[in-house]
Amino acid sequence: MKKPKGKAPKKPSAQATPSTSTHTETYSSIHQTLNAFTEKTHILLKELTDRHGIKPQSIERRTKTIESFREKINRPGKNYTDPLNQLTDLSGHRIIVHYLDDIDKVSKIIEQEFNIDKAASSDKRANLAPHELGYLSRHFIISLKHPRTTLPEWNSYANFKAEVQLRTVLQHAWAAIEHSLQYKSEVDIPSNSRRRLFRLSGLLELADEEFNLLQNEQQHTKTEIRKALRKGSSGVEINTVTISAYLEQSKTPEELLQSALSVGFTLPDEEHPLPNKAFNDHYVSGVASISQDKTENIGSLDAILRKNKESIEFFLKALFAARPGSVWLVTKPFVLMLSCYFVFREELSVEMLIQNGWSKNVAEIVVSTAKNQPL
């Protein structure tokens, strides 16, 4: 028997159940407050890591959108009766650090500063069997701890939870690539690709461990150099690590900084902040670069700077005068770099400074002043 011609009747579109609508409306009503909680927690995490001397590669955050919330509680096979409490990632943070040791350091901070829902938290590193490959990360489900919940700026968020993920840069790279390949578990991986992924996973884990060892080795080297400088040892080779230690231990860089301040240079402050804290690392690199070929060791560098201290002060005074009306911010590493530019001025050129990030105008002033000022 033939079916009657004409369009088939449309199937009724799937609609949210009343309970889903109610949950979504409730989530919508608190979304703005939850987002404020996410932002404040993000700032707090940055302050806590900074206070403990940890410099994450990045700290990300997000508040689950209303649409994403609706989609998640409507997924097939899910039967949320109280999604606002059952979903622990409505507010989410991801702290990406450079070294494995930093994972443990940040974990300790989080455990000290927040209440931890241990049943909902996980350490993927411990859960992964030796023969398995995959995602390595620590996940904490946190809530505010007393007495922070009693503070006026925090008490509105006393009942909120947030997820905090901790991972290294390489763990993050693995997670991102694994996600792009759409592998949710090992059973999703074709057999001909599994061995390759095992090898890559092992290489990344090994690289993480080696970078961690390198960082520990560098810290040990810095400690030994500081000890040597405190004892008056002058035979320490010049590199960025030893220059950093020299800046901390020697009186000469501090005296040069005071000379710069006395002629008009300014230290960064709230009104005139340093644009980027990484600049100091750049200045240390500049000192090492220009002085390595001109001096044998830290002792020789210090002797040259002390011998020419008065001339350096005249140079700094002339340099400041060459930019009338300008606020010229300086730090100890920056003044040390300027001083080295002056005493090793034979190597100095406008092109070199421009390559190192200086503007042409300022580079010309520095080079001209350095070359025209007598030692």
Q: What is the pLDDT of residues 34-77, one digit of tens each?
A: 999 999 999 999 999 999 999 999 999 999 999 999 999 999 98
* Both structure tokens of 237: 């080779």
Q: By percentage, how much of the chain surpasses pLDDT 90?
A: 66
How many other C-beta atoms are found inside a 10 Å radius of the C-beta of residue 342?
24
Q: Does the CA dihedral 17-22-26-29 come out positive or negative? A: positive
The residue type found at 308 is N
Which residue in this structure is represented by tokens 């830290």? 298
Confidence of residue 7 (pLDDT cuts 50, 70, 90): very low
| CA-atom Rg of the chain in angstroms | 29
What single letter denotes the amino acid at residue 77? G
Instruction: Please determine, for residue 271, whether its predicted confidence score (pLDDT) is greater than 70.
Output: yes
Q: Which of residues 231 and 339 earns the better pLDDT score?
A: 339
Please state, in angstroms and rounded to a whole number, the distance separating the CA atoms of residues 244 and 284.
7
Is residue 1 predicted with pLDDT exceeding 90?
Answer: no
Long-range own/partner contacts, residues 108-111 (CB < 8 A, 24 or more apart): 109/48, 109/49, 109/52, 109/54, 110/140, 110/142, 110/164, 110/166, 111/140
Q: pTM of the entire structure?
A: 0.74
Separation of alpha carbons 129 and 250, rounded Å: 50
pLDDT for the residue 198: 78
Q: State how far the Cα of 273 lies from the Cα of 267, in Å rounded to an integer.
A: 9
Structure tokens at 101: 């040791």
Distance CA 252, CA 274 (A): 23
CA–CA distances in Å: residue 82 to residues 24, 31, 35, 86, 88: 11, 16, 20, 6, 11
Is residue 56 a contact partner of residue 49, using CB atoms and an 8 Å limit? Answer: yes
Amino acid, res. 104: D
Residue with tokens 């994972």: 103
Report the residue count for the chain. Answer: 375
Q: Please, how many CA atoms are within 13 Å of residue 161, restricted to the half-sphere of its CB?
A: 19
- For residues 161-187, average pLDDT: 81
Going from the C-alpha of 202 to that of each of 84, 135, 206, 349, the distances in angstroms are 38, 12, 6, 47
| Whether the predicted pLDDT of 10 surpasses 50 | no
Cβ atoms of residues 236 and 299 within 8 Å = yes
For residues 6 and 175, what is the distance between their CA atoms, to the nearest angstrom?
51
Q: Which residues are 122's β-sheet partners?
A: 139
Domains of the chain: 18-208 (3.30.460.10), 234-372 (no CATH)
SS3 143: strand
In the chain, pLDDT over 70 holds for what percent of residues?
A: 90
User: What is the rounded distance in angstroms from the CA atom of residue 364 to the CA atom of residue 370?
Assistant: 10
Instruction: Select from 350, 241, 255, 232 the least CA-distant residue to 305.
Output: 255
Tokens 């759409």 belong to residue: 182
Task: At 213, give phi and psi (nearest 5°).
Answer: -65, -40
Q: Which of 146, 145, 136, 162 is nearest to 59 (CA)?
A: 162
pLDDT at 129 over 60: no
Residue 17 has pLDDT above 60, yes or no: no
